[in-house]
Amino acid sequence: MTASTGARPGGGRVTRALFLFEARRLAGHPLVWGTTVLVLATQTYLSRDQQPHLGIDPVNASGLSACLAGVVLVVASLAASRDGRHGMPESLAALPGRAGHRTRAILLATPLVAGLAAAVAVGGYLAIRTLGGPAAGRLDVWEPLTAVATAMFAATLGVAVGRWARWLIAGPMVVAVLGYLIFMNAQNGPAAWLLPVMQVHKTDWPDRPSGIHLLYVLALVAGCAALALLRHRARHAPALALVAAVGVAVPSGAAATSTPPVSVPRAGWVDLDDVDPRVRERYFGPGAHRCSARQGITYCAYPGYESWIPLWEQAVLPAANVLPPALRARVPRVEQLTSTWSYGADWDTYKIRPRMTWGHPDQRFILAQEVALWATGLRGGGDPSHRCDASGQARTIVTLWITGQVSPPELPREYRLDDGYGTRLLADWSAAEVGYAERLLTTPGARERVHANWATLTNPATTIDQALPLLGLERTHDARRGANPCR
């Protein structure tokens, strides 16, 4: 490949013609659009059991779109190095367009097509998610734009790699290194924001420095483009562009990396004062919740999550409606709670607590179970190291029967509470209680029998054998009391 970019008549027309050629070639590239479809389909599948969340969905989409950026980098590097392989320099020497023209054409075409592909992948995913059900959370508009900018950065970086390192393996090697760094980015601390993609985020964390990070990525786009042009001749325009890009990237990158990390709970006793101050008022301040009454039950959600109240109601109401009328009128408030900062909540008052995500069947079970536990008094042990055994107790059947209005009774296990969080009741029971609860769910007149004998059935001292005649059930299981019965 000749290093000369001597001016020739019609250079602008040559660049335009080459740009149109490269743009058409990339616009029909099966690898680029195949990866776009794959990213869109994969991200949609991974979030299939979750309600749309405007705060976390764009972050997830931009993280997975890094796969598309990797493909774009390889394609761009191969396109830029094409004219330096297999005798092409000699063949192209007689043509009016020089290497500089071809580089400019590729630099114009690849970011355009890459940004369009990323916009299709991320925009399509967000559109599918939004149309899939009521969305909640706060939208960070900079996140989807960062996904587009990341694809453009990969395109210009690929061109720079293709011009400065002509080996076919150069592009894939850069992708492998960047892919590893992005995959391990959660362990990089504040320096994680120096990479184009920071995919680790939870729904209730403080706001990300996404706006300044987008500016940083755009500066990288310009810097890589200038670096690619400088491969041919040290001209003033690309040199000044590189200096300007560095002048923007350094302070913006420093500003992003200076963002304090999430203040995770320390060891020992923690309370409201230990909650990250950036979110303390948001989740525990006087105006933290928006409340509304629906069919005698009060539901309180964080601002932006009110659209999920009808979904919570679908889990709470069936369980509440089978309670005796006096209890039904006193069902506790349904109040949303953050998972990361839950230790800052007031736990002295019993509340039914949906979390920051919604959609998994376990989350419906948990709300129904919380109604049942409040009604029957079966709370479990107070210390995870001292679990109690609710086997053989009549109220265990009643608890499972109430929960069964929403989700089938089952043996104790850990349930998915939120994004990365789980929970398990500090009480155990056996298959006998599950079996009796399943039969009670299909027994005619079960609600009337439970209401008529409520005080007896929810007494911790009442055994299953004593409760069977009251419930109209025959003895089919050996239900013995546990060695450490729940009180």
Q: Which residues contact 100 (CB under 8 A, 6 or more apart)?
A: 5, 229, 232, 233
Residue 9 above 50 pLDDT? no
| Averaged pLDDT for residues 433-459 | 95
Residue 132 above 90 pLDDT? no
Of 4-18, 147-161, 180-194, minimum mean pLDDT range: 4-18
Residue 318 above 80 pLDDT? yes
pLDDT score, position 8: 46
Average pLDDT, the chain: 88
C-alpha 64/C-alpha 365 separation (Å) is 30
Q: Which residues contact 157 (CB under 8 A, 6 or more apart)?
A: 73, 76, 174, 220, 224
Structure tokens at 36: 């776009």
Contact yes or no for 113/154 (Cβ under 8 A): no
Pairing of β 290-294 and β 297-301: antiparallel
Q: Which residues of 302-319 are buried (b: 16+ CB within 10 A; e: fewer)?
A: bebbbbbbebbbebbbbb
pLDDT class of 22 with cuts at 50, 70, 90: confident
pLDDT score, position 419: 79
Give the tens place of pLDDT for each residue, 429-440.
999 999 999 999
Give the tens place of pLDDT for each residue, 262-287.
877 776 788 888 899 999 999 999 99
C-alpha 16/C-alpha 8 separation (Å) is 14
- Closest alpha carbon to 312 in 359, 345, 347: 359
C-alpha 434/C-alpha 436 separation (Å) is 6
Residue 312 above 70 pLDDT? yes
Of 146-150, 346-350, 377-381, 476-480, minimum mean pLDDT range: 377-381
Give the tens place of pLDDT for each residue, 215-246.
999 999 999 999 999 987 778 888 999 999 99
The structure's pTM equals 0.85
pLDDT class of 3 with cuts at 50, 70, 90: very low
Residue 14 above 80 pLDDT? no
Which secondary structure element, helix H or strand E, spans residue 437, and what is its range?
helix 431-441
Contact yes or no for 272/344 (Cβ under 8 A): yes
Residue 106 above 50 pLDDT? yes
Q: How many other CB atoms are there within 10 angstroms of residue 273's CB atom?
A: 8
Start-to-end Cα distance in the chain: 84
Encoded amino acid at 450, one letter: V
pLDDT class of 382 with cuts at 50, 70, 90: low
pLDDT score, position 102: 82
C-alpha 343/C-alpha 26 separation (Å) is 52
Q: At 253, is the secondary structure helix, strand, or coil?
A: helix
Structure tokens at 200: 């680790």
Which secondary structure element, helix H or strand E, spans residue 250, and what is its range?
helix 236-257
Q: How far is CA 150 from CA 106, 125, 147, 156, 193, in A?
A: 17, 17, 5, 10, 13
pLDDT score, position 224: 95
pLDDT score, position 411: 93
Residue 83 above 90 pLDDT? no
pLDDT score, position 383: 56
Give the tens place of pLDDT for each residue, 84-94.
655 444 444 44
User: How many H helices and E strands in the chain?
Assistant: 19, 7
Please state, for a pLDDT cut of 70, what percent of the chain lies above it: 92
